[in-house]
Amino acid sequence: MAKGRHAVIRELRRGRTLVMLTVLAMLAALLVFPAVAAASHTPAPSSVTVAGSLQSELGCPGDWQPECAATHLTYDVDDTVWQDTFAVPAGSWEYKAALNDSWDENYGVNATQNGANIGLYLDADTDVKFYYDHETHWITDNVNSVIATVPGSFQSELGCAGDWQPDCLRSWLQDADADGTYTFSTSAIPPGSYEAKVTINESWDVNYGAGGVPNGPNLPFDVVLADSTVTFDWDSVSKVLTVSVTINLGSESFDALEATIEGMGLESAGIENSLLKKIQNAQKSFDKADGEVCEKLASFIAAVNAQDGKKLTPEQADLLRSQAEAVSDAYGCGA
């Protein structure tokens, strides 16, 4: 997701938490936003080499040798990131990431294919950890970049072994364009309420909470609809983490509402079919682009309000209302 396009932050009435909701409503084209911010355009490599002027210092017969195994990175299946640490002497060095023991595919500055060499300047001998993410093609090290991750109560949903794990790079904040803002996006977090922080160097030794406070409180956020894109932006100067949830504007949003209704066991209350019909009518309007989506979503919300505390519990009504309002906002109703 492009930086600086956060447009709407809305408080959803879920009784106890604030939902930071970023909406990009491209009404003219009715676009569906992609589930991930970036994805590799090439097959997974068989090897990744830190190739550069430092190789002969690290056990290779020469420099700029993509085939030298002495500077291969190791693929971590838990993190899904290539990484390794090398004892690099003091000096001024340059390097790139060379894939498959060849220069045919290589990445340099700003994750650019065939890009410029990355400079590495060391005043003293240093153990330097190098990282390469094939999804984004970012190659960096812990001297040039801050290695920041977002541990939180959602990490197990991403494939981490558990939650609150600062060393799980599945929630690695990256700054490929070197503008000081580190970003991570995912659509793998299911609906629910979560918390997050930022940690440095894969450890809790240095961490930032809400408002960029060192060792500060967790930052809460909500995901209202399934398949929403959650984006974490961390300002490395202010240390402030911002969490935004972008609704993927499309039929999937209506499908998620239908699934919520069907999961509430409302058949015995006699209102499941009527609520489903109202959402299905709204979805048909969306598919036809007939201009009646807002009216039909408003009709659904009115029906929910009418049954709040009656055939719907306040909790059920609140959940249905918040999801419908999120879709309504994403579509631009009332704008």
pLDDT score of 19: 30
CATH 2.60.40.10 fits 21-31+146-246, yes or no: yes
Ranked by mean pLDDT, which of 182-186, 187-191, 227-231, 328-332 comes out on top? 182-186
pLDDT digits (tens, 9 = 90+) for 252-288: 788 888 989 999 998 887 899 999 999 999 999 888 8
193-205: b (≥16 Cβ within 10 Å) or e? ebbbbbbbebeee
| Closest to 248 (Cα-Cα) out of 271, 272, 269, 230 | 230
Distance CA 135, CA 129 (A): 19
Asked whether the beta carbons of 322 and 14 are under 8 A apart, the reply is yes
pLDDT digits (tens, 9 = 90+) for 71-115: 999 999 999 999 999 999 999 999 999 999 999 999 999 999 999
Asked whether the beta carbons of 33 and 330 are under 8 A apart, the reply is no
**Rounded alpha-carbon distances, angstroms, from residue 15 to 11, 193, 222, 293, 318:** 10, 12, 12, 27, 8
pLDDT digits (tens, 9 = 90+) for 24-70: 232 222 223 233 334 578 999 999 999 999 999 999 999 999 999 99
Asked whether the beta carbons of 223 and 212 are under 8 A apart, the reply is no
CATH 2.60.40.10 fits 48-141, yes or no: yes
Whether the per-residue pLDDT at 195 is higher than 90: the answer is: yes
Distance CA 333, CA 158 (A): 32
pLDDT digits (tens, 9 = 90+) for 223-261: 888 788 999 999 999 999 999 988 766 777 888 889 899
Q: For residue 207, how far is the Cα from the chain centroid?
A: 19
pLDDT score of 38: 43
